[in-house]
Structure 1
């Protein structure tokens, strides 16, 4: 799997590189009143309104303010058979790397601080664990907020 790796707090996450559309510096975020905190903002990406999610909230992490390393990763996810453009915050974008399929294991059902259905697997690169989130499931579930669509959240 070719993946874009990014850091959220002390954890390294990997997103399928084919789903990444672009990486942006932090842009103005429009808060959405009464939206779930997880997908509580909208951004303008080249004239298109895109929902912005903060995976740190879903995974029970702290939310430090953006700094010089904070990036917005614009990705395409499949929601109900429709390709949908969404964006996620990253504390830091690391690199594009290969994660060998043989090193990817199913997420353990216990001992993790997040729900295993949000994790497609855990890969290894050297001595480092890399969490591979299930982006389609994260954005489609009611637990993460209401389903995300092109029109809003």
Structure 2
């Protein structure tokens, strides 16, 4: 099936496609339409007084892109940089932001009936930034509203009125 045929089919069923990635043992999903590209990790230029989870900035074809280490943001036990570590470049409103993750898994299509509401529990992630939990077979995905997460006040990356 062609890509356009698959996308049209997904639109007719209300299904959405998510790029899945790993942080430690957890698997997350973000809306594929927010993803600009996926790159290998390269150490960014550090910025003075930036929070620990903002690793710095990189120059991406003339655009200065802040790089957020999601492992540090979500208080993962460790943030180890290896050959699987990647940066997902996101296009959020008028801002380009990179997020560092352990690895990218694949693109999954989820129908509305395979997504459940997230339980209301205390976590490192603001519950308003979790769209729900998606399940496909034995896999459980934490679906993030990445735009809302990146525009939260503590991130300081995207202003609400942009």
- Taking structure 1 as the reference length, the TM-score comes to 0.85
The 3 A distance-change label for structure 1 pair 29 and 76 is: same
Q: Is 1:62 the equivalent of 2:80?
A: no
Equivalent residue for 1:53? 68
Q: Name stretches of at least 5 consecutive residues in structure 2 with no aligned partner.
A: 1-15
Question: What is the Cα-based RMSD across aligned positions, in Å?
Answer: 1.7
Tell me the SS of whatever aligns to 2:80. coil
The 1-side partners of 2:63 and 2:109 are apart by 31
Structure with higher Rg: it is: 2
Figure out how many residues of one structure are paired with residues of the other and give that number: 144
The 2-side partners of 1:128 and 1:111 are apart by 22
Q: Is 1:123 the equivalent of 2:138?
A: no
Equivalent residue for 1:108? 119
| Shift in Å, 1:100 | 1.8
Q: Deviations over 1:123-146 (max 9, x none)?
A: 101111101111122111123x32
The range that moved more, 35-44 or 68-77, is: 35-44
The 1-side partners of 2:104 and 2:121 are apart by 28
The 2-side partners of 1:124 and 1:62 are apart by 25
Equivalent residue for 2:13? none
Q: Name stretches of at least 5 consecutive residues in structure 1 with no aligned partner.
A: none
Compare relative contact order (CA 8 Å, sep 6+) and give the higher one, 1 or 2: 1
| Shift in Å, 1:113 | 5.2
Equivalent residue for 1:84? 95
Q: Deviations over 1:96-118 (max 9, x none)?
A: 12122211122111265533122
Q: Is 1:142 the equivalent of 2:157?
A: no
- Taking structure 2 as the reference length, the TM-score comes to 0.81
The 3 A distance-change label for structure 1 pair 111 and 48 is: closer
